[in-house]
Amino acid sequence: MVAKLKGNLKKNLLVIITLVVSIGVLLYCMFSTDAITTLWHLLNKLEPRWVFLSIASVAFCWISEGFVLHLLCRHLYPEWTYGQSFSVGMIGLLYSALTPFSTGGQPMQIYSMHKMGMDTGKAGSIIAVKTLTYQIVMVLYSLIAVASKLHFFQTSVSNFSFVTIIGLLSNSVFIAFVFLFMISETTTDRIVTAVIQFLHKAKLCRHPKERYEKVHGQLEMFHDASKLMGNSAKLYLTAMGFSVIQITINSLVPYCIYRSFGLHTAPVTTMVAAQVFVAMVSAFVPLPGSSGGAEGSFYLFFGMFFQSAILPAILLWRFLTYYSNILFGGIATYVGGRLYNKKDLEEL
């Protein structure tokens, strides 16, 4: 019994550490200041309509996550159901919330799709295309947000230009390498090799061979995925269109919280742009769920809007967009496993 308990603790150590860190940050925000008192005061005055809209926005993001996956799954597996796609989408959200840099979401999605009866190669291709289309949309969305709100945030947020340029460059370079690899694998390999060798000489990369194999493997995955999924412009544009809607609705959550507090002076477009920047900055935080970085970037970009109510706003925002993913993602994972899994662990 003791050995089994130790084994379970060791197996779930990362999840336990993640939850402890996340809850620790939450408790710090609540009790290190008067945030909990302010929140309790605000709860009695929250506008129900806007609270409902904030919850509905999060739920819609879950539904649209499943829908985009379903578009791609049905392309290769016409018999695939939306229930399976929704379950896979929630599994991705759950494990992205529990692993550093959101690295656990995609492998667990492929694993769960295989258990539901899908070929591993096709599952990997679907997840690769889903990731790439979302990444492209996010970069384009961020560029539009920067172009439309650059002056405002430059004058209102310190180090805004530096943070924005780093975020956009890193994402743009990744997408550019993927497309270049699809056009010319040889040219891409030469560029990747040269960059890694330079980083190694500058003592910024300790194991160049391993790093090359990792980067090449990721690029090859997207290349294989494009061949398997085909060149259906309609499919990709539809997936990207729903990704635009998903990002927009998700970016409206802070605005709904803002309005639920009885505040109304900030333009909705400015707050949507701020949330896009928060998502971009948070992606660089290596902790699960971007713990600490997400709260800090929200404070940085939204402090001017919420002012004295910023800490209660952070608590509500994190609960809706992070802790709810863990709670309902866990439920969806359990229910989906019972309903759709066709393979036992021993068969994999």
Higher confidence at residue 248 or residue 191? 248
Task: Write down the pLDDT at residue 54.
Answer: 96
Instruction: State residue 346's pLDDT score.
Output: 44
Sequence length of the chain is 348
Query: Of 216-220, 225-229, 282-286, 307-311, which range is least confident?
Result: 282-286
Where do the H-state alpha helices sit in 116-262? 120-156, 160-183, 185-201, 208-229, 233-251, 253-260
Query: Tens digit of pLDDT for each residue in 99-154?
Result: 765 566 788 898 999 999 998 888 888 888 898 888 889 888 988 888 888 788 87
- Within the chain, strands assigned E span none
3-class SS of residue 46: coil
The per-residue pLDDT for range 68-85, each reduced to its tens digit, is 999 999 998 999 999 999
Q: What is the mean pLDDT of residues 182-189?
A: 72
* Phi, psi torsion values for 235, nearest 5 degrees: -60, -50
Question: Which residues 6+ apart lie within 8 Å of 5 measured at CB?
Answer: none
Distance spanning both ends of the chain, measured CA to CA: 26
pLDDT reported for residue 345: 43
Average pLDDT of the chain, as a whole number: 80
Tokens for 280, please give them.
Answer: 């971009």
Instruction: Indicate the pLDDT class of residue 206, thresholds 50, 70 and 90.
Output: confident
Residue 98 binned pLDDT confidence (cut-offs 50, 70, 90): confident
Three-state SS for 91?
Answer: helix
Q: What φ, ψ does residue 33 adopt, rounded to 5°?
A: -130, -165
C-beta of residue 216 within 8 angstroms of C-beta of residue 192: yes
Give the pLDDT confidence score for residue 104 in this predicted structure: 63
Q: How many CB atoms lie within 10 A of CB 164?
A: 21
pLDDT classification of 66: cutoffs 50, 70, 90: very high
- For residues 139 and 168, is the Cβ–Cβ distance under 8 A? yes
What does the pLDDT read at residue 169?
75
How many percent of the chain have pLDDT more than 90?
28
Q: Pick the residue with more confidence: 213 or 1?
A: 213
Structure tokens at 32: 């290190």
Tokens of 133: 């289309």
